[in-house]
Structure 1
Amino acid sequence: MRLTPPVPAPERIGFLLLPRFAMVAFFSAIEPLRIANRISGETLFAWHLISRDGEPVVASNGMTLAADHALAEAPASPSLAVCASFEPEAVVDATLIAWLRERAAAGCLLGGMDTGCFALAAADLLDDQTVTLHWESLPEFRARFPRVDAVESLYEVTPEGFSCAGGSSAIDMSLDLIRRRHGDSLAGRVRDQLLHDQGRRPASRQRDPAAPDDPLLSRAIALMEANLEAPLGIRELATELGLSWRRLDRLFARHLGTSPQRAYLGRRLDHAHRLLRETRHSIMDIALACGFASASSFTRAFRRRHGVTPSELRQQP
């Protein structure tokens, strides 16, 4: 998953399956690559599956997947994704750490899916890098590995490695790989086959925050949070809720003391503030992830909300 094309086809990717790995994340990563091969009419991507001993691996859902190779006999590949889920450190030992370090020393680009970064961090391969993993595991990971910059984003791709939060975020990461290697057109056609949306950006949030107690207001805010990148119009939001826009306006005034427009904009700008402080994404990428079409409009709105520009916030200690 290197950043700079061209890469000779087929691009070979290894997947290390740790016991109780997340099946949904694994298949979400593989399917876009398979579809890209089919649509293009050639083998652009190839992959092989690795387990500790070459035996089948039981996933977190109880299903078993056959492996192609054991650690000792696995072929070299430009990239390797460590696939994990529950209790990832339970299977990390000296043998696995040594094998991962050997791959890194040989120039293999290493990444983690779901909680796969636990194994890489245990091997001291992630210090001073930005990674992501499933939000449930972030507090434990940050406490265990304070030298790693762990953020709550969908996926991260850097010159040093790659990671995704698991689940459907693996689709977004694979679509990003297809786009970078083979262009927007092929990535778009693959996305259409998957019935996926327009492609979430890396900085998109993994989950919606807790909603207020009022069920109707809770639904309204959930819709706002689900549409930060492409904000809904207030009338469109009201229609989705089965309300008139006037009733929606009264709902927000009664419970929050503000209008739906201001509440929506505030959530987008507060999300941008978190991304600026917690991630290394560019200001333009964050602007797009928060529904702004230009850096200038984003900067003006951000200054009004937070009293500083995005660049000034980044410069603060």
Structure 2
Amino acid sequence: MSTTRHATPTHSTVEKPRQFVFVLLDNFTLLCFSAALESLRIANRMAERELYSWRIIGEGGDVAHCSAGTGFKLDGDLDEVGRDDIIMLCGGINVQAATTKRLLSWLRREARKGPSVAGLCTAAYSLAKAGLLDGKRATIHWENQDSFTEDFPEVELTKSVFVIDEKRLTTAGGTSSIDLMLKLIANHHGEQLANSVADQLIYSSIRTDQDTQRLSVPTRIGVRHPKLSQVIQIMEQNIEEPISPSILAKDVAMSTRQLERLFRRYLNRSPKRYYMELRLQKARNLLMQTDM
């Protein structure tokens, strides 16, 4: 059992607060930023001392707007950070436009000093564009996975909710910021404190880097039929080179006619139609997020 204590320590044991530098990109996702920041605030409260401090900066140093339209006053421009600071880049919609040349130059310069650098939500794109994820494992929101894979083949992209690869950290967006922060808090100050923070957040199911982003196929389609789920999973894994209904049926020990009836009954469309919709969705993502 952990022996971490939450009582106020004596002066001799007080350490300098670990500083996080939040960098808000234009149209950043509010949830990924607030979830990370609140985790730090609550950790300080539960420990009854300042374990963490933070600054909020961004290009221009004035105001950054989240994707919901709300503006946030910044503490400063893209200035220098300390070697022991942790940079948290917060992305959101249209991250390509928000990844400016100035931001990329700043990221490369500061990363050379050796701090940990994290990309929350879509900000993994910015890190990859700066070359900071070359040869690293990373993750990004599932909606951006197809375009990311096309743009950055040198990055080992995963479907995990978060990834920590040495000094490069990435999250999938949404509440995955909480999972990452709880992992960092546990690494810094023990699991007891991390669990106390999760309790305060009413966060009853802490995920690890082994958990994947998306809901299971049965949950997503609202149907719990094992063979239907298996076929859809095969379709999703073979988008660029579609497999014929006859082969799909054979893979799950069914006839083509049985497979047709299964799709009609539960999804009100043919297997070919469903497959085409999956492929069109991928094409739409690539058109919206890349120049392809």
TM-score w.r.t. structure 1 length?
Answer: 0.64
Q: Which residue of 1 aligns with 2:217?
A: 210
Distance in 1, matches of 2:211 and 2:15, equals 31
Q: Which residue of 2 aligns with 1:19?
A: 26
RMSD in angstroms over aligned alpha carbons?
A: 2.5
Decide whether the 8 Å contact of 1:7 with 1:181 is kept in 2: no
Distance in 1, matches of 2:133 and 2:123, equals 12
Distance in 1, matches of 2:127 and 2:109, equals 12
Distance in 2, matches of 1:65 and 1:37, equals 22
* 1:36 Cα offset (Å): 0.7
Summarize the alignment of residues 1-317 of structure 1 with structure 2, pairs less than 5 Å apart.
Answer: 8-71=15-78, 73-76=79-82, 78-211=85-218, 217=224
Decide whether the 8 Å contact of 2:81 with 2:110 is kept in 1: no
* 1:66 Cα offset (Å): 1.2
Q: Which runs of 5+ in 1 are unaligned?
A: 1-5, 223-254, 256-317
* 1:47 Cα offset (Å): 0.8
Structure 1 runs of 4+ with >6 Å offset: none
Task: Indicate how the Cα distance of structure 1 residues 70 and 210 shifts in structure 2: closer, same or farther if over 3 A, else same.
Answer: same
Aligned-partner residue type, residue 68 of structure 2: N
Decide whether the 8 Å contact of 2:61 with 2:76 is kept in 1: yes
Task: Indicate how the Cα distance of structure 1 residues 215 and 189 shifts in structure 2: closer, same or farther if over 3 A, else same.
Answer: closer
Q: Which runs of 5+ in 2 are unaligned?
A: 1-12, 230-261, 263-292
Distance in 1, matches of 2:87 and 2:223, equals 45
* 1:150 Cα offset (Å): 1.1
* 1:92 Cα offset (Å): 2.1
Distance in 2, matches of 1:162 and 1:109, equals 8
Q: Secondary structure of 1:211's match?
A: helix
Distance in 1, matches of 2:123 and 2:185, equals 22
Q: Secondary structure of 1:116's match?
A: helix
Aligned-partner residue type, residue 107 of structure 1: G
Aligned-partner residue type, residue 90 of structure 1: A
Query: What is the percent sequence identity of the aligned residues?
Result: 32
Q: Secondary structure of 1:115's match?
A: helix
Decide whether the 8 Å contact of 1:50 with 1:74 is kept in 2: no
Q: Which residue of 1 aligns with 2:235?
A: none
Distance in 1, matches of 2:220 and 2:93, equals 31
Over residues 134-175 of structure 1, what are the superposed CA-to-partner deviations in whole Å (9 max), with x where a residue is unaligned? 010011011000001111111111213111111101001101
